[in-house]
Amino acid sequence: MMRSMKWLCLVVLALGCGAASGLDFEQELKKALKEGVQQKSAAPSGGAQGGNLLSGLGGTSQEEEIAIGRQIAGNLLGASPLVKDKRLQKYVNNVGRWVASQSERPELPWHFGVIESSDVNAFAAPGGYIFLTRGLYRLLANEAELAGVLAHEVGHVIRQHHLKILQQSRLVDLGGKLIAKQVGDNNAVQKLIGSGAEVVARSLDKSAEFEADRIAVVLSTRAGYDAFAFPEVLQQIGHFAKDDGNVALLFKTHPHPDDRLEKLGQAMGGRFDAVKGQALEKRFYRLKP
Amino acid sequence: MSPIRITLAVLAMLAMHAAWAAESGMALKADAIRAEPFGDAKTVATLSAGDKVEILKKDGGWLQVKSAKGSGWVRMLSIRKGEARKGSGDAAGLLGLASGRAGTGKVVATTGIRGLNEEELKSAKFNAAELKLAESFATSRPEAQKFAAQGKLAARKFDYLPAPE
């Protein structure tokens, strides 16, 4: 009995050592990240609640999360600028913020935008930066459909899907290098996110997409919109030919719309039968041709 | 017939075609056709995955369909709408692919608007001015609340959905 207790103590001790050195690494990593954040001090403050939103290596504070997302958003806009239509951009922010207000992170500094691209796609960056393309906007028939698309992206942000990818790959890879070089240079954030806005083109786990689809219909419903507007958008996207260049990236990084509809149908079942929502077709802001 | 008349006739035919095309569908999975658009309504027939249907009407999350198996109401999410491939006539999309945009990332589509591919996203450079502009359109929570009220949108409680299975 005594003997086994001793062994147990030894094991616990060894585990403790491992955890301690892990903690040091984490601290170093956080320091490097923080320096990056300070250099980009133009980033809007995310408030004091910060804290570790994620467990695991290099937990990221809300402030850091926003700084990372801001860098990615700036890069994405470098590839595709905003559609130059102020009323459109304001409208999309109104709808997006209302939908995001129904989530558990209503106080993030949410930003939404429509970017110039004939591609059919939408992108989310950590901290609440969300963009959809002109090509996708053109497919939408009413405000509820727009709300659904934005709510899907809000889902990625609140569940930190992209941030987790960064933490799992880049952060760990580059973290070592950053520490080795004692970096405090102004490109620290950029280094963490890889090249340009690459991370938004990264495929998420299929289950993350299905999860964002489920969140999309729920947030739409909470916001008072028709829950079936978002599946309608999936229907529309499903009509594109597989070899159509405008959906190449979307189809590469997402499960096929048919699979998404099927999974979403299973999850929704009859739960929305008694729920009526609005489509707001009249208020929907239509793009100038 | 004047050219305008002909144009109108052609447009009308196109519109009819589009309307007709939009009304067909295919079952994504096996599901019940019900007598009414309710989950507890009587089952009239059962669709198998791949069965063709004709869509007559929509009511909330339900579609009224006609099929070889029978007619009635099916859950919208069990049906994939349409067979016609939208966008297949879209020159920009096809051109993008045919000209190897996926390779070089430098091809400009006929619309003058480029698509987005991984290469372009990777090589994208930070655009501070554009980001500032994007941030200038931000809506505050109270503003959003007002906007919602104008549209008679009321917030309501609804639980997140568990993953199926």
Tens of pLDDT, residue by residue over A117-162, are: 999 999 999 999 999 999 999 999 999 999 999 999 999 999 999 8
A81 inside domain: yes
Specify the range with the lowest mean pLDDT, choosing from A22-26, A34-38, A88-92: A22-26
B24 or A187, greater pLDDT: B24
CB contact under 8 A, A272 and B139: no
B14 inside domain: no
Looking at the 3D structure of chain B, how many domains does it have?
Answer: 2
Residue B128 confidence (pLDDT): 93
Q: Is B43 on the interface with A (CB under 8 A)?
A: no
Instruction: Indicate whether B96 and B144 sit together in one domain.
Output: yes
Q: Is B117 on the interface with A (CB under 8 A)?
A: yes
Would you say B49 and B30 are in contact if contact means Cβ atoms under 8 Å apart? yes
Q: Is B122 on the interface with A (CB under 8 A)?
A: yes
A274 or B143, greater pLDDT: B143
Q: Is B125 on the interface with A (CB under 8 A)?
A: yes
- Looking at every residue in chain B, the average pLDDT score rounds to 77
Burial code of A184-218, b = ≥16 C-beta within 10 A, e = fewer? Answer: eeeebbbbbbbebbbbbbeebeeebbbbbbbbbbb
User: What average pLDDT does range B141-157 have in this prediction?
Assistant: 98
Site of tokens 């009509």: A239
Please give the ipTM for the structure prediction: 0.77
Instruction: Indicate whether B127 and B98 sit together in one domain.
Output: yes
Instruction: Indicate whether B95 and B76 sit together in one domain.
Output: no
Instruction: Indicate whether B39 and B70 sit together in one domain.
Output: yes
Which residues of chain A have a CB within 8 Å of the CB of B76? Answer: 228, 231
Residue B99 confidence (pLDDT): 32
CB contact under 8 A, B61 and A227: yes
- Per-residue pLDDT of A206-260, as tens digits, reads 999 999 999 999 999 999 999 999 999 999 998 888 888 889 889 988 999 999 9
Q: Which of A119-128, A142-151, A164-173, A271-280 has the highest mean pLDDT?
A: A142-151
From B85, B98, B160, residue closest to A239, measured CB to CB:
B85
- Whole-angstrom CA distances from B65 to A139, A234, A288, B18, B55 are 24, 20, 35, 18, 5
CB contact under 8 A, A78 and B164: no
Among chain B residues, CA nearest to A193: B122
DSSP string, chain B: --HHHHHHHHHHHHHHHHHHHHTEEEESS-EEEESSSSTTSPEEEEEPTT-EEEEEEEETTEEEEEETTEEEEEEGGGEEE-SS-BTTT-HHHHHHHHTTHHHHS-PPPTTS-----HHHHHT----HHHHHHHHHT---HHHHHHHHHHTT------PPPPPP-
CB contact under 8 A, A228 and B75: no
At B90, is the pLDDT very low, low, confident or very high (cuts 50, 70, 90)?
very low
At B60, is the pLDDT very low, low, confident or very high (cuts 50, 70, 90)?
confident
Among chain B residues, CA nearest to A90: B137
> How many Å apart are CA A78 and CA B103, to the nearest integer?
20
Site of tokens 């062994």: A7
Which residues of chain A have a CB within 8 Å of the CB of B154? Answer: 224
Looking at the 3D structure of chain A, how many domains does it have?
Answer: 1
Instruction: Indicate whether B139 and B116 sit together in one domain.
Output: yes
Which residues of chain B have a CB within 8 Å of the CB of A243? Answer: 94, 97
B109 or B41, greater pLDDT: B41
- Residue B42's CATH number: 2.30.30.40
The domain containing residue A95 runs over which residues?
A: 30-45+58-268
Residue A21 confidence (pLDDT): 39
B6 inside domain: no
Residue B3 confidence (pLDDT): 63
CB contact under 8 A, B77 and A261: yes
- Whole-angstrom CA distances from B10 to A54, A289, B3, B15, B88 are 59, 21, 10, 9, 20
At A24, is the pLDDT very low, low, confident or very high (cuts 50, 70, 90)?
very low
Residue A196 confidence (pLDDT): 74
B115 or B82, greater pLDDT: B82
Q: Is B2 on the interface with A (CB under 8 A)?
A: no
Residue A186 confidence (pLDDT): 38
**Is pLDDT at B8 greater than 60 in this prediction?**
yes
List, in sequence order, every residue forming a beta bridge with B75; answer none if it has no partner. Answer: B62
Residue B146 confidence (pLDDT): 98
Which residues of chain B have a CB within 8 Å of the CB of A231? Answer: 76-77
Other Cβ atoms less than 10 A from the Cβ of A107: the count is 13
pLDDT > 90 in chain A, percent: 53
From A111, A119, A214, residue closest to B116, measured CB to CB:
A119
**Is pLDDT at A182 greater than 60 in this prediction?**
no
Among chain B residues, CA nearest to A155: B160
pLDDT > 70 in chain A, percent: 73
A67 inside domain: yes
Residue B103 confidence (pLDDT): 31
Both structure tokens of A196: 């340009």
Q: How far is A98 from chain B (nearest CA, A)?
A: 5
A52 inside domain: no
Instruction: Indicate whether B67 and B35 sit together in one domain.
Output: yes
From A86, A121, A211, residue closest to B116, measured CB to CB:
A121
CB contact under 8 A, B139 and A94: yes
Q: Is B153 on the interface with A (CB under 8 A)?
A: yes
Task: Compute the count of residue pairs across chains A and B with CB atoms less than 8 Å apart.
Answer: 255
B156 inside domain: no
B30 inside domain: yes
A287 inside domain: no
A13 inside domain: no
**Is pLDDT at B113 greater than 80 in this prediction?**
no
Instruction: Indicate whether B102 and B66 sit together in one domain.
Output: no
Both structure tokens of A164: 């987790």
**Is pLDDT at B2 greater than 80 in this prediction?**
no
- Per-residue pLDDT of B125-135, as tens digits, reads 899 999 999 99
Instruction: Indicate whether B109 and B136 sit together in one domain.
Output: yes
A288 inside domain: no
B72 inside domain: yes
A50 inside domain: no
Instruction: Indicate whether B52 and B98 sit together in one domain.
Output: no
Would you say A246 and A240 are in contact if contact means Cβ atoms under 8 Å apart? yes
Instruction: Indicate whether B52 and B73 sit together in one domain.
Output: yes
Instruction: Indicate whether B96 and B77 sit together in one domain.
Output: no
User: What average pLDDT does range A24-45 have in this prediction?
Assistant: 46
Would you say A63 and A74 are in contact if contact means Cβ atoms under 8 Å apart? no
CB contact under 8 A, A244 and B29: no
Among residues B35, B53, B81, which one ends one of the domains? B81
The residue among B43, B81, B120 whose CA lies nearest residue A197 is B120
Interface of B with A in 48-77 (CB under 8 A): 60-61, 75-77
A205 inside domain: yes
The domain containing residue B40 runs over which residues?
A: 24-81
